[in-house]
Structure 1
Amino acid sequence: MTHDAAPSPSAGRRFRAYTTKHLDELTARAGLGEAERLAVRAVATVLPFRVNSYVVDELIDWDAAPADPIYRLVFPQADMLPSSDVSRMADLLRRDASRKEINTAANEIRGRLNPHPAGQMDLNVPTADGTDPLEGMQHKYSETVLFFPKQGQTCHAYCTYCFRWAQFVGEPDLKFASGEIDHLVEYLHHHPEVTSVLFTGGDPMIMGDSVLRRYIEPLLGVETLESIRIGTKALGYWPQRFTTDPDADDTLRLFEQVVASGKNLAFMAHFSHPNEMAPALVQDAVRRIRDTGAVIRTQAPLIRTINDDSAVWESMWRTHVRHGMVPYYMFVERDTGPQDYFAVPLAEAYEIFRGAFANVSGLARTVRGPSMSATPGKVCIDGVTEVAGEKVFVCHFIQARDPELVGKPFFARYDEKAVWLSDLEPALGATRFPHEQGPREDASALVGTAHP
């Protein structure tokens, strides 16, 4: 096939990243005063900041900043952390403290932000002899392995809500990644129950074609593997990756190679707001990816101040369907980082989801949510109802560490303030949730164990 890119005002521009050293200049452009800019810089000493020229020039409405949703999506906010922490870091910056002193204070604050939610660091799979864990690989659900390629542990820009923020703050102890694709291939050969591999990070599409190819091509010979997934925000933050970058065509040919091998290539695109789909360059990138035979599925978390409105999600899902993409997930903001700032109560999240879901066609109702990626699995809030005189949340596991729990409804007491699974209590006289009763032995042995 011929990969012809349509002209675009942004086509051909070289990638330029903006980091904390540019933050004061950019926040001044948003109209922030000196004290406000210092508070934002203080937050950015704790949480990561990175944006690029495409997001700055094409996506942010600077006349609407700092209220613009894309601005809020990528720029730290002064109230994302407790005021005492912001004041502490601002004082250090004001008196030009040493980098060591700033890092020590920042790390202490980070430690209180649950940098590894859902037991992420405990999910690394063991080596074939069952001893040391294989770094950068996680096996939480029987059919899926997550792989964190070493060269993909950054992004074209960072989302302020990102639950993997700990990967980006420069602390080695908070990172997990692997450059050993051979270890993954060996693991898959010993675990035929794994039918899908998800490349995640960071963002795997930060890698050039030659590096990406070194990770993907060895998987094409694993017969038991049915699908390869790539989790990425590149369509929203740098669509040039698939249109005018020097290796854009080579990357698309790699996608074609995956499809030609008989495997599904699932392109897991993160779109947080409809404005990310507005530029023609994005729409062209979507078309080019779909032309390879890859399937684009879309997902994002529900985030207060950015997309906590049914109309926003309805618009987003309709736009995705119009361009041939498949709405996949609405996530609940994870219990990490500035969750208190971004979280939407589960009761409100359900109403936002239902409001959007009710106004789209069946083609968009492939989407699931609101879903919490919690320690025992992905828990979906299906509704709010009354059973035996008690108001309850109706829930079910979309995925679970114990496969026996998948698809079975369970109930939690209604709590208008609850924002996460740990805030919920069993309903209808139960003292424990199903996932708190312990997995079956054969289920617990299924995931993340060494081969015989």
Structure 2
Amino acid sequence: MSLQESSARGFRAYTAKHLDDLLRRAGLDDEHRIRVRAVATVLPFRTNAYVVDHLIDWSAVPDDPVYRLVFPQPDMLPEADVTRLAALLRGDAPNAEIQAVAHGIRRRLNPHPAGQLDLNVPHVGDDPVPGMQHKYPETVLFFPKQGQTCHAYCTYCFRWAQFVGEPDLKFASNDVATLVGYLKEHPEVTGVLLTGGDPMIMGEPVLRRYLEPLLELEQLESIRIGTKSLAYWPQRFVSDPDADDTLRLFASVAEAGKSLAFMAHFSHPREMEPPVVAEAVSRVVSTGAVIRTQAPLIRSINDHPGTWASMWRGQLRMGMVPYYMFVERDTGPQDYFAVPLARAYEIFRDAHASVSGLCRTVRGPSMSSTPGKVCVDGVAEIAGQKVFVLHLIQARDPELVGRPFFAHYDPKAVWLTDLRPAFADRFPFEPAPVARRLSA
């Protein structure tokens, strides 16, 4: 099999052109393979030899949870769409025709949830600033242009639209000067999150060009890096040629008086089993960085309280801080992965109850929705009504943070938009209805 390979660090990436050979390794029949390939024309596929050789149990495919984390499944998209694309692939249709059909399907999958290209994008005057989001007053997200890929793609990723090769679905920037200028004009911003993709796909010299200018800003208290690298390529901090230089760069953040928060994504306990992961975690923590862990709750992969309890305990033992359980977002193959909110709360509650207080730093289940991060606190009966109890962990309007509100109980609801307010005519983040003017 031909591989994309960097001989300097031993990293080997598998992309869609390798997909059929990898599926043969799993012993999947022709029909199954072509339907997987059909889904991969719509949703992005990328993995690497470390994930394939060390994390996936190939004897348990297609039910193995890590396999399902990185390989498309035939039922991730509507059956009619998959059948149509599979027919085009069987008939060796021109790539332009296949991509036109795939493009139409992508447009129906809500590629930019929570107003990512509208509500969150900062402006200087009337001009949008590319590659930045400013959803909460104190936090700006920045998408480094060189970090808009990952060591491997998660099939549930809510940023899947960044990776499908359509320019109008991407947002990224390499203009650090504009970022710094924007921050100086907005002294209320105290934290910057570098995200993507995965910023840790960048080598140390490139990462340094983004980090060092931020260290000069007195207003900044924290720098966050969102990454899956500890799970999918821990060698980045152990044996890569620039691993030591990267750790020295991390240490310089603490030396500058800033907090470096390493936002690590772990979706299943198996991702933490290889010894190299513990070594990578130890090396990152030694720089003064704090590793906080988070992941979405995803059906067929981690929708069991024991799975989460095992992850949180393991993370605590390694020196990481459990931080968030997210609800699968309203984008991409949500119908495939979504867990009803009522069940999500039960999973969180049971996992939370079975771990020590040191693990209970974790929050959730949380929906990263348009108004903010909405947490499902529980189910209660109030005034004869069964309701969800909710609150905003974070909000566009800081006045709403921490204030409880209620929604009618719906056992099938999977997202905020499925809920109806209880004991009120609107949710607290919804605008009041405009009063009608009485005619004279």
TM-score normalized by structure 1? 0.93
| Separation of aligned partners in 1, 2:304 and 2:330 | 21
Aligned positions of 1:201-212 closer than 5 A: 201-212=196-207
Question: Runs of 5+ in structure 2 lacking a partner?
Answer: 1-7, 434-440
Contact 1:31 1:66 (8 Å CA) reproduced: no
CA offsets, 1:223-262, max 9 Å, x none? 0000000000000000010000010000000000001100
Q: Structure 1 segments of 4 or more deviating over 3 A?
A: none
Tell me what 1:240 maps to. Answer: 235
Where 2:154 maps in the other structure, the secondary structure is coil
Tell me what 1:8 maps to. Answer: none
Which of 416, 426, 435 does residue 429 from structure 2 map onto? 435
Where 2:117 maps in the other structure, the secondary structure is helix
Report how far residue 437 of structure 1 moved.
2.5
Which of 94, 101, 106 does residue 102 from structure 2 map onto? 106
CA offsets, 1:120-162, max 9 Å, x none? 00111112xx121110000000000000000000000000000
Tell me what 1:328 maps to. Answer: 323
Contact 1:270 1:299 (8 Å CA) reproduced: yes
| Separation of aligned partners in 2, 1:98 and 1:292 | 51
Contact 2:9 2:241 (8 Å CA) reproduced: no
Contact 1:200 1:231 (8 Å CA) reproduced: yes
Report how far residue 27 of structure 1 moved.
1.0
Which of 66, 69, 73 does residue 69 from structure 2 map onto? 73
- Does residue 340 (structure 1) correspond to residue 342 (structure 2)? The answer is no
Name the % identity.
Answer: 73
- Does residue 163 (structure 1) correspond to residue 132 (structure 2)? The answer is no
Which of 117, 123, 126 does residue 126 from structure 1 map onto? 123
| Separation of aligned partners in 2, 1:153 and 1:302 | 24
CA offsets, 1:58-101, max 9 Å, x none? 10011111111100000000000010000011011111111111
- Does residue 89 (structure 1) correspond to residue 85 (structure 2)? The answer is yes
The amino acid of 2:122's aligned partner reads V
Where 1:79 maps in the other structure, the secondary structure is helix
Where 2:174 maps in the other structure, the secondary structure is coil
Contact 2:13 2:47 (8 Å CA) reproduced: yes
Where 1:347 maps in the other structure, the secondary structure is helix
The amino acid of 1:380's aligned partner reads C
Contact 2:46 2:151 (8 Å CA) reproduced: yes
CA offsets, 1:257-277, max 9 Å, x none? 001100000000000000000
Length, aligned pairs only:
426
Compared with structure 1, are the counterparts of its residues 438 and 171 closer, same or farther at alpha carbon in structure 2 (3 Å cutoff)? Answer: farther
| Separation of aligned partners in 2, 1:76 and 1:153 | 20
Tell me what 1:5 maps to. Answer: none
Report how far residue 31 of structure 1 moved.
2.1
The amino acid of 2:425's aligned partner reads T
Q: Give the stretch that moved more between structures: 25-34 or 174-183.
A: 25-34
- Does residue 405 (structure 1) correspond to residue 400 (structure 2)? The answer is yes
* Root mean square deviation, CA, Å: 1.1
| Separation of aligned partners in 2, 1:13 and 1:181 | 28
| Separation of aligned partners in 2, 1:188 and 1:46 | 36
Report how far residue 29 of structure 1 moved.
1.3
| Separation of aligned partners in 1, 2:405 and 2:380 | 12
Report how far residue 13 of structure 1 moved.
5.7
| Separation of aligned partners in 2, 1:63 and 1:438 | 56
CA offsets, 1:317-360, max 9 Å, x none? 00000111000000000000000000000000000000100011
